[in-house]
Amino acid sequence: MIATARRPEDEEKLRELGAVETIGFDPDGYPSGLDLVFNLALYEDGLPAAARALRPGGRLVSIVFPAPELEALERDDVELIFFWDVGGEQVPMREVAEAAAAGEIEVTIRQTYSIDDAVAAAVAYGAGGVRGNIVVTP
Residue 79's Cα: distance from chain center in Å?
A: 17
d(CA 43, CA 50): 11
Q: Which residues, including other chains, have CB under 8 Å from residue 61's CB and lie 6 or more apart?
A: 36, 37, 38, 39, 81, 82, 83
Dihedral (Cα; 87, 126, 97, 4), 10-degree rounding: 110
pLDDT tens for residues 23-63?
988 889 899 999 999 998 888 898 999 999 999 999 999 98
Domain boundaries, the chain: 2-82, 108-138
Q: Does the pTM exceed 0.75? A: no
To the question of domain 2-82 being in CATH 3.20.20.80, the answer is no
